[in-house]
Structure formats: C-alpha cells, structure tokens
Amino acid sequence: MARYTGPTTRLSRREGVNLMLKPIRDLSGKMPLEREYKNYPPGMHIWRRSKTSEYGIRLREKQKVKRYYGVLEKQFQRYFKMAERSKDNTGIELLRLLERRLDNVVYKTRFIAGRRGARQAIAHGHVTVNGRKVDIASYLVNAGDKIAIRKSDRSEKYARAQMQLLEGVSEPRPQSWLSADPEKLEATVVALPERDDVLIPVEEQLIVEFCSR
C-alpha cells in the first residue's frame, strides 16, 4: 500500500491551510500556521519567490485535495476519470468520490483519530462493512452501508482508546450523511455526501481545469 510517510505539518504549511492531518495536535494551539513566525510555506528564501502563476494556482488546489484525502497522483487521476464519466458536475463528483473512501468515512465517524490512523485501522482488519471485514482504505461506500468496528476485544479496545484521544477535539464535525453510534461503534451511511460536506476550502473548478489541460 503506497502512502506518504514524510512530515505532515509541512504539507499544511505548503498549502496554507490546516489539512487536519494530525487532528489532535493541529487543534492544540501548536499548529505552525497559527504562529506568525512560521506562517509561510516551507523552504529556503521564501521571500524571493515570485507571484504564483495561473498554472501554479490550479496545481495548488489539486495538491491540497490530494494531501487532505491522503491519495497519491495515480489514485487521484483514477478518481478524476471516474468523475469525468459521471453526468454530474465533474469537480463536485470528484470531491464526492473522495468523501466516500472508507478511510475518510471511518475518520469522520470519530471512531479513529485521524485519516492516517483510519487507514491503518482498516489495513489491520479492525473495520467491517455490512458485517464483512474490509481491509482496503479506498473502498467506496454506498448509501445504506453499515460501517462498524470489528466485534473483537482487540479491535474494540483499540477504537475506544482512539476515541478517548478525540475527547475535547471539535474536528471532524458530525456529518449529516453519516449516523454514528459511539456506544455500539457502528455507523450508517444515510446518504451519499454532497459538496457542502467537504470541510476544507477548495475551488474544484480549478482542479478540473488543471487535469483537463
């Protein structure tokens, strides 16, 4: 399973927005973007950089979405082609597909702290979909699917320890398209996600323009 293993806070600094890659730390007041002396992109000689080009603006929107959902370029292009085949708006459909990823759903149910943690929990077999173990983080959920932590002492203990870490953390906010039961460690996909369910500021039309060039 290919994944990014480098520093995550650096990614948020590069995009200029809190990507919530470390949800507990990022809301503790230690996020560099909240500090004036480090509220700038990483790298040397930042003050010498020229104005961002039209190409660069569109590239940054694409990179922001990729890094927020934790997908690599090849995966992202696959989602874009799926969105292009849809009859709906390509940009909105792209975001909806990314929202439907199982690791994103587990993260937004607040059973596991962080999207990277959710991906690890899925890979280790802690998550079931409709009663069956699913260990593929990119699995796309559908309306009516039931997501749950596996019925085992090991899995439930792990999930409850993760939920304790999230006490007092406001993100991610409860989602209208997900109905979660923290006591039973179960959640139901009430409906497919919509554009308003994306929690970061993004201009999806710029992504479509970049990928269609």
- The total number of structural domains in the chain stands at 2
Task: Report the CATH number that the domain containing residue 115 is assigned in CATH.
Answer: 3.10.290.10
Q: Which neighbouring-strand residues pair with 149?
A: 127
Residue 205: per-residue pLDDT: 92
Average pLDDT over residues 100-122: 90
pLDDT band at residue 32 under the 50/70/90 scheme: low
CA proximity to 6, closest of 21, 18, 17, 23:
21
- The boundaries of the domain holding residue 106 are 101-192
What one-character-per-residue DSSP string does 140-179 give? BP-TT-EEEE-SSHHHHHHHHHHHHHTTT---SPPPTTEE
Average pLDDT over residues 165-192: 86
Average pLDDT over residues 132-146: 93
CA separation, residue 94 to residues 100, 128, 211 (Å): 10, 25, 12
Whether 3 maps to a domain, the answer reads: no
Tell me: pLDDT of 46 over 80.
no
Shared domain check, 58 and 45:
yes
Q: Are 99 and 91 in contact (CB under 8 A)?
A: no
Q: In the chain, what percentage of residues exceed pLDDT 90?
A: 41
Residue 164: per-residue pLDDT: 86
How many residues are listed for the chain in this entry?
A: 213
Would you tell me the crossing angle of helices 54-69 and 90-99 to the nearest 10 degrees?
Answer: 30
Shared domain check, 174 and 145:
yes
C-alpha to C-alpha distance for 90 and 94, rounded to whole angstroms: 6
Residue 160: per-residue pLDDT: 92
Summary mean pLDDT of the chain: 82
Shared domain check, 46 and 19:
yes
Shared domain check, 14 and 83:
yes
Shared domain check, 117 and 94:
no
Read off the pTM: 0.81
Residue 42: per-residue pLDDT: 61
Q: Are 72 and 66 in contact (CB under 8 A)?
A: yes
Whether 4 maps to a domain, the answer reads: no
Residue 100: per-residue pLDDT: 94
